Structure 1
Amino acid sequence: MALHLHRAERTDVLADGLGALLASPLADPFAEELVLVPARGVERWLSQRLSHILGAVHGDGVCAGVSFRNPASLIAEITGTADDDPWSPESMTWPLLEVIDASLDEPWCQTLAKHLGHFDTGAEAELRKGRRYAVARRLAGLFASYARQRPELLAGWLEDGSGDPPGDLDADLAWQPELWRSLVARVSADPPHVRHAKTLARLREAPTDLPVRLSLFGHTRLPRTDIELLDALSTHHDLHLWLPHPSDDLWRALQSDDDLKGAVPRRADTSGRAARHPLLETLGRDLRELQRSLPATPATDEFIGGTTKSDTLLGWLQADIAANNINAEGRSLGEDDRSVQVHACHGPARQIDVLREVLLGLLQDDPTLEPRDIVVMCPDIETYAPLIVAGFGLGEVAGDTHPAHRLRVKLADRALIQTNPLLGVAAELLTIAGSRATASQVLNLAHAAPVRARFGFTDDDLDAITDWVRQANIRWGFDPAHRQPYGLDHFVHNTWRFGLDRILTGVAMSDDSQAWLDTALPLDDVGSNQVELAGRLAEYVERLHKTCESLSGTKPLTDWLETLTTGVRLLTRSDEAWQEAQLQREFADVVRQAGARAATQLRLADVSALLGNYLAGRPTRANFRTGTLTVCTMVPMRSVPHRVVCLVGLDDGSFPRHTVADGDDALAREPMTGERDIRAEDRQLLLDAICAATETLVITYTGADEHSGHPRPPSVPLAELLDALDRTTSAPVRERIVVRHPLQPFDRKNVAPGALIPGKPFTFDPTALAAAQALTGTRCTPKSFISEPLPATPAGDVTLADLTDFFKDPVKGFFRALDYTLPWDVDAVADAMPVEIEPLEAWTVGDRMLRDMLRGMHPDTAANAEWRRGTLPPGRLGMRKATEIRDLARELAVAALRHRKGDGDAYNIDVDLGSGRHLTGTVSPVYTEHMVSVTYSRLAPKHVLPAWINLLALAAQHPDRGWSTLCIGRSKSRNRIAQQLFTPPVDPLAVLRDLVSIYDAGRREPLPLPLNTSYAWALARRDGDDPYPAARAAWASNDYRRGDEADRAHQRVWGDRPAFEVLLVPPQPGEEMEGEDTRLGALAARLWLPLLDCELSSEGPPR
């Protein structure tokens, strides 16, 4: 028996060779063939490929009697560790934890003890001790790596030294040999290097129970110990190694040089000099090092030819790689050659936009191309998976869809927490239990589908809950006790307990009732129809709190998993039985790995680190080659030929994977050839993908910043590929194969034939086409929001409340008349406790205090009520701010109460406006013949106008009385009171009728009547000044002030940052005013001049 080596440039050729071998039956007709594959995706593809070769009749589509396994399972079988390997990283972690705990006081363990906080106290000690499992698991991984890649290092440690050449162990790692010796003493099994040596001897002495013939298919890297075991296995078995290698020329060059055999320090490796093609040199190090590691004289070293390269740029590149040389003579890139496409995009989302257009174009150009012929590979599948789901319509899609939504797409090897929502909830519970339980964390968990199902939360419910959380000022922490580790256990404010108390008391009381329970001020926004929702929210938070409390302290692993399972069951409901079964199966697997040491005491951080590995992505065989377009990471489908290979996300900084050398890794100090290097592995994956594409290679990367548009370079391996392509033809081709896409999918370049790709538009999206046509159409002056006023509705009575509401903002009044909802600003949920109060929030607080004082509440009581709302910073900081706001509000209240004698009267209004119309409503409170309005704001036109309209209504209803209205607010000067006093005009009914006519017009179309701008215009007119500069200044925004132009309603009507001139259209018929030739001027004069003429005294709005 012997080792047989078979090489080919592509794995489909290798698969055909393997099929020919398997078609020759073994002596035992019932014996099973054993084929070892590197990944599940390769397994599915290979079984399908072999089914066209094997069977009772050639090509009958049957592949039977072949067992596919990975090399790790074979190694476990021949070493006797298939059921339990005490030296696997997972199993080794548990005794290593015990060794670390027992050794922290040893002098040699001082470095590790300091890192784990053994000598610390308090919160720092708890934080560092929470690293125990993570550190033990990392060290177990290092020891396992030593055992597989450099076993002589561990052997030397067990003797008495620090290791064999190429160098002694550095002094800062001197604790590792001691730790290893202590671990070996605790584990009742042969050390891995001893087990390895015994296994080699046994394999060389006699055959095993394995099949006589074995095949190892598609690997580009194997650890040194695996190669030694396979070589020993070939003593009594035929072992066929089917190796994809892109260049027979390079292989023979390396094979003929005896100096390029065996492991050497990587810095001394000169095998790269034999690679004359730049990509073989820069991307193919893994394959060169594998060749160095293989036995020097296999019984068979066969190169299987037969691949024909296409006469395209991709074919030329692959031919040059195969020849280990570049021969650009006579090569010219054809106009229709799109065999290599590189697309530079603005970020990940645009990469998926571009990818789907490229795929649609390829499918349209070639009717024989099917989704099964395409593979999409991403270095970071979790970043791109949600974008792929959206871009290809894998989720719920509303309305017209993109043509790419009709493609059959399958996402493979995603993390379990992404595919099983119960596992996602379990992971989130661990995160919340180990954090502050912020408002956003708890709300995000409530949005999870199983949690929504358990508590019956609808979309409307979650919107209401979010509003409650914001209004109740919930920030973080379940209760004061939960804040104890942060030193804030004496503050109840802004906790979930604090906020829920406010919500639940709000069911029975309002916040103006001057009643509260302990610290709970009732929340005023809980309707009578929301009582049951408040109860469900309280139950959800209480269950989550209890679960997080139980996920604390130290306890055995089994208790942790039982507690976590209970928490998931308390908080979720799933109608999918497989989700619960998978949760139980994953947790049982964790316990099985721990074995007898599942009783080891662990902290929450330990459990989080432990479960992190089990919840990571694990591809299954069923994810691949299902007849759909497969999207996966770059490992599972490595080397598998496809007509179209797409590589997405080859961004600088993301590919190859960015790794920082582990400072505790002894191998990293002087790496040897054949030892794993993740960055070299990623480079090899890129080379494999280039060689696996039979017709088209598509690559996307972020070529420009999606926010600033600043150009970004491609990743280094991609840049090397582009350099090689420039040398593949007689003239550089980079500018022709790299397509630089615009930021937006509706840019005209996407729809203009030839703008991005030769001869045709790039996009297939009809929506993008319509948008681009609109974008590039004939430019015209922006029209008004509506082309003409809406039809007049039948004239009816007008309520005083509607009239005053309209004039608070006439444009918003138009939208309200249409029941049109505008996208007003919505405050986000805050997670941080307030340490300072923003000006807008300070106004809200001050206005509430002022209203409370006007209702008779004592200023201190008003301040205490505000303290109970949780809007103020905690402790003295909050009380100091509350005192400052209270004092100013008290001055305003005193100024108002000085004129408010008694309780005030209410007057019913029913004014005949003519033509059968009436103005109806109630004016209150009125003190004798005076009204007094007060605001915490700086006195501005919008505060004066409602009082003026009420004054007109009273004067029109009772013209024989001496009415007046006083408006009080803060002055422009700091801490001063502003007051404006008005009396009615000579003919209040005429003024009122004119206001109603403006009201009628404003309900049919948006009026150019922004309050501050129009007030500035009228004030300048009254004073004999030019109104244009004053009005323009009030309209425009600057660094210090927000003008009327920034109002959302104004922007909806006149566009973003509308020019002042949009207000200067001519007056409509019936709106004319003497001396005014603009509609703004005419309306401003009608609205404001009567008011200004009736002002008796003022320290009012700034002029």
Structure 2
Amino acid sequence: MEGGITFCSMIPMRSIPFKIICMIGMNDTSFPRIHKPMEFDLTAVYPAKGDRSTKDNDRYLFLETIMSARKKLYISYTGQSIKDNSDIPPSPVVAELLEYVRQISGGGYSLINKHKLHPFSITYFDEKEKMFSYSKTNFQIAESYLEAPVTDEDREEDILTEDAKPPSEIDIEEIAYFFKNPLRHYFKNNLGIYPENLAQDNEDVEPLNLNNLQKTILKDRLAKESLFSEEQEISLDEMLNYYRKSGLFPPGKFGEYMKEVNKYNVSFFTNNIKKTLKPPEIKAMDFYLDVKNRNINIRGEYMLSGSVNILARMAKIKDSDRIKAWLYHIFALYDLLQSNRYSGEFSTLFYSEDKILKFEDYTDLYKNDEKMYENLHSYVRFIVETYIYGSVNPLPLFPVFGCSYAKKIIKGESADFGRSWWAQNVYKNDDKFYLEKLYGDVIPGTENLKELSQIIYLPMLQKESFVGT
């Protein structure tokens, strides 16, 4: 009103003339407004002549506004989808105005300027184009697209990037959790997205039984609690009573039956382990690694029975269990070497319901292979570097992919990971959520994944064996 720019709704300024008028947000579903009457509004139930109509009022308001523009009229609306760039119609009143202009101009005069899907399009920074932008950040992004593409020779051999700043301390459990599903770790830590929270609320059902996931989690917790407890029966009974009081088991006789079944199964599983091993001791993992000129403290705990590292999971073994056991194996061995506690013998046993996985010593694995890492220190350092990189960058290195590729290398088979392989092995489970959000219908590139699988998973398969059931 005083020579500057006035921001307001359309109603107070609708009949005041201005040199330039801008109407923003004239989308298809935004204007004219949709009137939603209250449930007790009888005028909406029994309309009569002369009643106010929000739709008609907005149409007249639009007419008054465009008539108030003296030199220029600017109207903007969302006309393209942010997903696939498909056309979206404007508000009906804007569409009518455009149609009227087309008729009186004979169709040879267009008033629509279509913007690009992204604000960093090079079109906004080209002197020959009418559209422009003052954003310095978007200019830098657009400028990077004009640079020469990076070739494989120009890529840094180290997997770390400048954005991946190493933390000062990392827990071994966090590293193992990352390699079980790198994309899940990325979504949770960087984007704060938890797919399990996106599911619809469960229906109200009576707790007559546990689903498969609940059964697995319960058995695993009970097994670990009783396996590393001196008084197994007392500890197991206490845990079962706790879960029953928490409402996990159904009430009455059926709940008591489920309690006894779990007690028997867990006792049978843990007793078979204790028969063949000395009582395990908790060992603290604590050593430092130099990554990007920064000392990183690797911490955690592992269970040692003599010279045997013990892990257990009361479920059928999966590829994610194999990589977890392997990581605990090499990190525990490295910790023993660093602290001068290595006795010359070391192995890891991973107990599951169907198999017993064993890893032998590691130190001679790459003795005669100059292309691979020469010692355990280099391998552990590479694992930590991969973890740091995958913490800030999406890395679809699923255990099923790593194990499959390493197995094909050992057998000398061709490694074909096309769409059908991803559909059968990855997209059929919960990992489908992460892949669809990142890649849509396009399968991830596999060249970098193959290189990582050869370095990380190949030594795992070379050292693993199954010694019993």
TM-score category (smaller protein)? 0.5 to 0.7
Alignment-derived partner of residue 1062 in structure 1: 448
1:353-432 alignment, distance < 5 Å? 372-373=2-3
State how far apart, in whole Å, the 1-side matches of 2:119 and 2:281 are.
61
Letter in 2 for 1:852: E
Following superposition, the deviation at residue 764 of structure 1 comes to 2.3
Tell me if the contact between 2:358 and 2:466 (Cα under 8 Å) persists in the aligned partners. yes
Partner of 1:549: none
Deviation, 1:750, is 3.2
The match for 1:765 is 135
1:898 aligns with 2:272: yes
Q: CA deviation at 1:699?
A: 1.1
Could you report, residue by residue, the CA deviation over 1:1001-1053 in whole angstroms, capped at 9, with x for unpaired residues? 4456769987544433444455x351624899589964214679969xxx9xx
Once the two structures are superposed, the pairs formed by residues 180-199 of structure 1 within 5 Å of their partners are: none
Given that residues 635 and 685 in structure 1 are in contact (C-alpha distance below 8 angstroms), is that contact kept between their aligned partners in structure 2?
yes
Tell me what 1:774 maps to. 144
Alignment map for 1:544-555 (pairs within 5 Å): none
One-letter amino acid of the structure 2 residue matched with residue 968 of structure 1: Y
Aligned partner of 1:732 among 107, 121, 128: 107
Letter in 2 for 1:957: Y
1:977-1015 Cα offsets, whole Å, 9 max, x none, are: 222253745xx6545983333123445676998754443
Instruction: Tell whether the 8 Å contact from 2:326 to 2:359 is kept in structure 1 after alignment.
Output: no
Query: Displacement of 1:739 after TM fit?
Result: 1.7
Q: 1:930 to 1:647 in 2, by over 3 A?
A: closer
Structure 1 range deviating more: 702-711 or 946-955: 946-955
- How far apart in 2 are the matches of 1:1002 and 1:765? 39
Cα displacement (A) at 1:850: 3.3
User: Which residue in 1 is equivalent to 2:467?
Assistant: 1097
Which whole-Å deviations, capped at 9, do the CAs of 1:155-214 have from their partners, x for residues lacking one? xxxxxxxxxxxxxxxxxxxxxxxxxxxxxxxxxxxxxxxxxxxxxxxxxxxxxxxxxxxx
Distance across 1 between alignment mates of 2:272 and 2:180: 36
- The equivalent position to 1:847 in structure 2, one of 214, 220, 223, is 220
Pairing 1:1040–2:454 present: no
Q: Is residue 303 of structure 2 the alignment partner of residue 924 of structure 1?
A: yes
CA contact (8 A) 1:644 1:694 kept: yes
Are residue 658 (structure 1) and residue 34 (structure 2) matched?
A: yes
User: Deviations 1:1048-1068 (Å, cap 9, x if unpaired)?
Assistant: xxx9xxxx9641112455xxx
Q: Tell me if structure 2 keeps the 8 A contact 1:966–1:979.
A: no
Q: Is the 8 A contact 2:124 2:133 kept in 1?
A: yes
Which of 958, 970, 977 is residue 343 of structure 2 equivalent to?
958
Question: In structure 2, what is the Cα distance between the partners aligned to 1:846 and 1:744?
Answer: 50
Measure the CA separation in 2 of the matches of 1:882 and 1:995. Answer: 50
Give per-residue Cα distances to partners, 1:727-757, cap 9 Å, x unaligned: 444x3355x21122233222333334455xx
Q: Does 1:1088 align with 2:461?
A: yes
Q: 1:1016 to 1:631 in 2, by over 3 A?
A: same
Q: What are the equivalent positions in structure 2 for 1:990-1001 lying under 5 Å apart?
A: 990-991=364-365, 994-1001=375-382
Change (3 A) 1:670 1:779: same
Question: Alignment partner of 1:769: what SS?
Answer: helix
1:195-206 matches, within 5 Å, as none
Q: Secondary structure at the match of 1:967?
A: strand
Counterpart position of 2:413 = 1026
Residue 77 of structure 2 contacts residue 90 of structure 2 at CA under 8 Å; is this kept in 1? yes
RMSD: 5.4
Q: Distance in 2 between matches of 1:904 and 1:1098?
A: 20
Q: 2: distance between equivalents of 1:747 and 1:805?
A: 39
Distance in 1 between residues matched to 2:445 and 2:243, nearest whole Å: 42
The equivalent of 1:823 in structure 2 is 190
Displacement of 1:693 in angstroms is: 0.9
What SS is found at the alignment partner of 2:6?
strand
Q: Is the 8 A contact 2:223 2:266 kept in 1?
A: yes
Write the distance in 2 (CA, Å) between the matches of 1:670 and 1:707. Answer: 44
Question: Aligned partners of 1:1086, 1:823: CA distance in 2, in Å?
Answer: 30
- 3-state DSSP class of the match of 2:273? coil
**Alignment CA distance shift 1:765-1:1020 (3 Å):** closer
Q: Matches of 2:299 and 2:35 in 1, distance apart?
A: 75
SS at match of 2:190: coil
Q: Indicate the SS of the match to 1:900.
A: helix
SS at match of 2:242: helix
Q: Which has the larger radius of gyration?
A: 1
**Counterparts of 1:726 and 1:882 in 2: how far apart (Å)?**
79
Contact preservation (8 Å) 1:639, 1:692: yes
Shift of 1:702: 2.9
Is the helix fraction higher in 1 or 2? 1
2:341 and 2:414 map into 1 onto residues whose CA distance is: 31
What is the rounded CA distance, in whole Å, between the counterparts of 1:1041 and 1:785 in structure 2? 34
Helix, strand or coil: the match of 1:631?
coil
Alpha-carbon contact 1:951-1:965 (below 8 Å) kept: no
Shift of 1:1082: 5.7
5+ long unaligned stretches in structure 2: 161-168, 286-297, 367-373
SS in 2 for 1:645: strand
Three-state SS of the structure 2 residue aligned to 1:702 is coil
Alpha-carbon offset, residue 1085 of structure 1: 4.0
Give the drift of 1:807.
6.7
Cα deviation digits, residues 202-228 of structure 1 (max 9, x gap): xxxxxxxxxxxxxxxxxxxxxxxxxxx
Q: Per-residue displacement from partner, 1:497-523 (whole Å, max 9, x unpaired)? A: xxxxxxxxxxxxxxxxxxxxxxxxxxx
For the structure 1 residues 835 and 709, does the alpha-carbon distance in structure 2 shift closer, same or farther, using more than 3 Å as the test?
farther
Report whether the alignment pairs 1:945 with 2:326. yes
Q: 1:17-75: per-residue Cα shift (whole Å, max 9, x none)?
A: xxxxxxxxxxxxxxxxxxxxxxxxxxxx6xxxxxxxxxxxxxxxxxxxxxxxxxxxxxx
TM-score, length of structure 2 as denominator length: 0.65
Aligned counterparts of 2:273 and 2:66: Cα–Cα separation in 1: 86
**Residues 1:808 and 1:709: Cα distance change in structure 2 (over 3 Å):** closer
Distance 1:1061 1:840, change over 3 A: farther
Instruction: Please give the secondary structure, in 1, of the residue aligned with 2:71.
Output: strand
How far apart in 2 are the matches of 1:807 and 1:667?
63
In structure 1, the residue matched to 2:351 is 968
- The unaligned stretches of length 5 or more in structure 1 are 1-44, 46-371, 374-626, 791-798, 911-918, 970-976, 1066-1078
Residues paired across the two proteins, number: 407
Distance 1:638 1:766, change over 3 A: same
In the aligned structure 2, how far is the partner of 1:996 from the partner of 1:885? Answer: 46
1:617-645 deviation line (CA, Å, top 9, x unaligned): xxxxxxxxxx5x33222211120111111
| Maintained 8 Å contact 2:79/2:88 | yes
With normalisation by structure 1, the TM-score equals 0.31
Partner of residue 862, structure 1: 239
Given the superposition, is the C-alpha separation of residues 997 and 809 from structure 1 closer, same or farther in structure 2, using an over 3 Å criterion? farther
* DSSP-derived class of the 2:42 partner: coil
Query: Are residues 1031 and 717 of structure 1, via their aligned partners in 2, closer, same or farther at CA, if it must alter by over 3 Å?
Result: closer
Task: Determine the C-alpha separation between the residues in 1 that align with 2:45 and 2:300.
Answer: 86
Partner of 2:295: none
Contact 2:302 2:309 in 1 (8 A): no
SS at match of 2:77: strand
Q: Is the 8 A contact 2:172 2:328 kept in 1?
A: no
Contact 1:656–1:683 under 8 Å retained in 2: yes
Q: Cα distance 1:861–1:750, how it changes in 2: closer, same or farther (>3 A)?
A: farther
CA distance in 1, matches of 2:446, 2:225: 40
The answer to whether the 8 Å contact 1:752/1:762 transfers is yes
